Structure 1
């Protein structure tokens, strides 16, 4: 887990270190002035959102289009794919670390190649569209946030961004499951907890989504926590915004310490490299964010505190027991009757 967290912290800090290249000279100077409280009052209002928007647009090379009278900024597809790939790797590492895969080998009965093909392939293939839509949605919300006046209005738009991104992800997770489940090879249904279209109800999808958010495996299920890779990678932009805002506030408060403002201005050249100054703060924010889940996990309901790890017994999965019991007791015409798998009273 430590390796996965360290890699994410490095990625976050690296994003900020390289960010100054995306900002113009005047934007860097205004952001640096805001960080050490040297801007006039009239220039402080939209400094943070405008700097982030310029950074976002340069990083993704967006182009403005009008859709039904609404201006949208569309990222370049290649840039979006690259961001999706990095976010997927980071989320997958956290998921694997949470399951213990980075610390112990899977049991001899675990088909790692099959799991990688089913989960990895499906996630990559179906995550690209919601990731792109989340970027477009987040850029739209950023524009509204920059135009808003007052901190409460801007916090409200940030909440809209999170809710909208999660709604996009939920819809595409549901759709991708519905499309992909019939493609699972016969005999490999245990790898997806014996889910099929018939059992994929809205309530079960909510259960899978919550399991992904908490990286947990509820009793009687298998690997529901893998949906967290899908969810958190699509929330990349939202996390980016929150880390940016938290880092700027951290530096703004820290500069009140005696001598630190002069240090940031003269030694760190905050007016020339504001995002590089924020890199250290962003790493600290990322460390705090990554330590929160283990601290908050004991507060979750008991069935949301654990994962099945790298082991999974098909007969402990409720859907598998029900499905194979039906097949054994009531085989369809021309269906080969399964042998009693042993130990089961039927």
Structure 2
């Protein structure tokens, strides 16, 4: 439709998100009784106590999901909301090009919904119950700091529920992705990303609703509410204010997602520098900038992606020994035996690092302790020739034999020579 294309081109995906929140809030508010709508108007106009907003929102919450939360009706409505949320977020990811740039294999909406069913139905229902329980405590809290603490607790518990659920689903094998890190999920590199985001829908709706009611209340206290007819149309202006905050918030968030000349956003760079590992490896596909790629590769390596450590080191050791040594050092620290052996060679030769023969021998022995044949061979070779330690032919022979047993032909010949 032409007007949809115009809306997206003019206001961006943020407009769709704000419109979705407007429709969701309007639909929920219209379910309220006339009495409850009057309560909202009175509170906005300053006619109720400061804690009344929470009671009003509880009524709104119950109108949407039902008053009996441990019922099939509430569970069914929660499931419907989960499917709609996952579908909407997946569609938003497709609209913004996220699926095209971050997913190696294309996935249909049907597959996304199936994953959402596997991950979200139980998690979202538990999150709904948790949020409703915490909100029921709010009328007893008269101070704003205490209410903010409850909302913070809701965010933490919601995150815990979905993360634990994703871990369980990973181990069941129901979803063909087991190795995505939390940072990768958060940056939309995983099939779990849409289910992860959707779980926070109820919490986000709660937070924005609260902010909207307080802003409108302040507005009316400044005697501006009369001009907007808040008394007669409280639900309309509440929905508009809420969607406005969603629009502004998503616009503000888009600055953190805006890509620079290197193809990466500030958020992506920050997450990689903190989380390292898998998420940095995935971000490599988004940039062609050599400097950015080297930084991402180094962070991926430091975070435990040993294949990246080894491939980068092998590509660089002839032209940039110091950087290659750094990659091998991280690989060794991550428990990669060939990384220890190659780093030992650098120390033995003083290539990219200061010459340090004892350190080289220690690295060879470390690699050998991880049953790396080449490391055992170099340990024996160093002990035989007195490199980094006094010569010890017997210990050298033991290491040569161990390396030979693991298939290192050079060690077999060296062992035979020592035995003569």
TM-score under structure 2 normalisation? 0.56
Q: Which residue of 2 aligns with 1:13?
A: 22
* C-alpha deviation, 1:255, in angstroms: 2.9
Q: Please, which of 191, 206, 210 is the counterpart of residue 183 of structure 2?
A: 210
Task: For 1:300 and 1:110, locate their aligned partners in 2 and report how far apart those are by CA, in whole Å.
Answer: 21
RMSD over equivalenced CA pairs, Å: 3.5
1:304 pairs with 271, 281, 286, which one?
271
Say yes or no: does 1:289 pair with 2:249: yes
Counterpart of 1:61 (choices 58, 66, 86) is 66
Counterpart of 1:132 in structure 2 is 125
Choose 294-303 or 280-289, whichever is displaced more.
Answer: 294-303
Indicate if the aligned counterparts of 2:82 and 2:121 stay in contact, CA closer than 8 A: yes
Report what 2:88 is aligned to: 90
- Contact residue 69 and residue 129 of structure 2 kept, 8 A: no
Aligned residues: 271
Q: Taking CA–CA contacts closer than 8 Å with sequence separation of 6 or more, which of the two structures ends up with the larger relative contact order?
A: 1
Distance 1:45 1:253 in 2: 12
Q: Secondary structure at the match of 1:271?
A: coil
Q: State the partner residue of 1:30.
A: 39
CA positional deviation for 1:125: 2.1
Tell me if the contact between 2:87 and 2:109 (Cα under 8 Å) persists in the aligned partners.
Answer: no
CA distance in 2, matches of 1:294, 1:64: 36
The one of 26, 43, 48 aligned to 2:53 = 48
- What residue number does 1:261 align with? 225
Partner of 1:274: 234
**Residues 101 and 286 of structure 2 are in contact (CA less than 8 Å); yes or no, is this contact kept in structure 1?**
yes
- Check whether the contact 1:19–1:275 (CA below 8 A) recurs between aligned residues: no
Q: How big is the shift at 1:95?
A: 2.9
Change (3 A) 1:301 1:154: same
Q: In 1, are the aligned partners of 2:78 and 2:125 still within 8 Å (CA)?
A: yes
Q: Which runs of 5+ in 2 are unaligned?
A: 1-7, 258-264, 273-279, 288-296, 312-420
Q: Structure 1 residue 231 and structure 2 residue 196: aligned?
A: yes
Q: 1:311 to 1:50 in 2, by over 3 A?
A: same
State the alpha-carbon separation in 1 of the partners of residues 101 and 148 from structure 2: 43
State whether residues 45 and 231 of structure 2, in contact with CA within 8 Å, keep that contact through their aligned partners in structure 1: no
| Stretch of structure 1 that moved more, 287-296 or 126-135 | 287-296
Displacement of 1:5 in angstroms is 2.6
Shift of 1:62: 2.9
Q: Which runs of 5+ in 1 are unaligned?
A: 66-72, 185-191, 216-222, 326-346
Report what 1:333 is aligned to.
none
**Structure richer in helix, relative to its length:** 2
Task: Verify the 8 A CA contact 1:243 1:286 in the aligned structure 2.
Answer: yes
In the superposition, the TM-score normalised over structure 1's length comes to: 0.67
Name the counterpart of 1:170: 163
What is the rounded CA distance, in whole Å, between the counterparts of 2:18 and 2:270 in structure 1?
Answer: 29
Residue deviations 1:41-64 (CA, integer Å, cap 9, x gap): xx3133110111011111111316
| Distance verdict in 2 for CA 1:294–1:106, change over 3 Å | closer
| Superposition map of 1:245-260 within 5 A | 245-256=210-221, 260=224
**1:135: how far off?**
0.5
Q: Does 1:155 pair with 2:148?
A: yes
Q: Distance in 2 between matches of 1:64 and 1:81?
A: 13
Contact 1:122 1:180 in 2 (8 A): no
CA distance in 2, matches of 1:248, 1:178: 43
Quick one: distance in 2 between partners of 1:111 and 1:212?
16
Once the two structures are TM-superposed, the CA of residue 263 in structure 1 deviates from its matched residue by 2.0
Following the alignment from structure 2 to structure 1, what is the Cα–Cα distance between the partners of residues 109 and 85? Answer: 17
Q: 2:332 aligns to what?
A: none
Q: Is the 8 A contact 1:28 1:271 kept in 2?
A: no
Structure-2 separation of matches of 1:310 and 1:274: 48
SS at match of 1:76: helix
State the shift of 1:261 in Å. 2.3
